[in-house]
Structure 1
Amino acid sequence: MTNLVRPLSPEGWIRHLFASQAALEGGIVRRQVRDVERYYGRRAFLEEMKRRGFPVVENAGQFVVFCNNEPIRRLA
C-alpha cells in the first residue's frame, strides 16, 4: 500500500514555511520558485513577505527569504 501525501492548502503551505525552525529564529529559508508558484502563487507570496517585512531575493530558481528585518549587504 502506498502512502499518499495530501497536498497542502495555500494557507497550510505558508504556515508550514513559517513554522520551520529557521523562520522562527529569524533565519533564512529557501523555496523553489516553482513550488511557491504551485502551492501559494508568486504575487501572494511576495505580498505576504512584504506584509511581514521580510526581504526576498531570487536566484537560480530559488526564493531566499530573510525572516527578519535586518539590512542586507552584498559583499562580493
Structure 2
Amino acid sequence: MSRAATAKRENPVIRYFRETRAELRKITWPTREEAIRLTLIVLGVTAFMAALLGAIDYVFAALFRLIVG
C-alpha cells in the first residue's frame, strides 16, 4: 500500500476549521472608512426601496378601493 493510503486520516472537523482559517487570511478586508461608506450606501438604498415600495403599495391600495368601492 502507498504511504498516503496508510497515513492516519485527519479529523474532518479539524481540517474544515484549518482550511476556513487559511481562506479567511486571504481576504482583503475593507478599511474602516470603506466599511462606513458602504454601510451608508446600503442603508440609503434600503430606505429608498422601502419608500418606493410603500408608495407603490399606497397607489395599488387606492386603486383597489376605487374599484371595490
Which interval holds the TM-score relative to the shorter structure?
Answer: under 0.3
TM-score (norm 1): 0.23
TM-score (norm 2): 0.25
Larger radius of gyration: 2
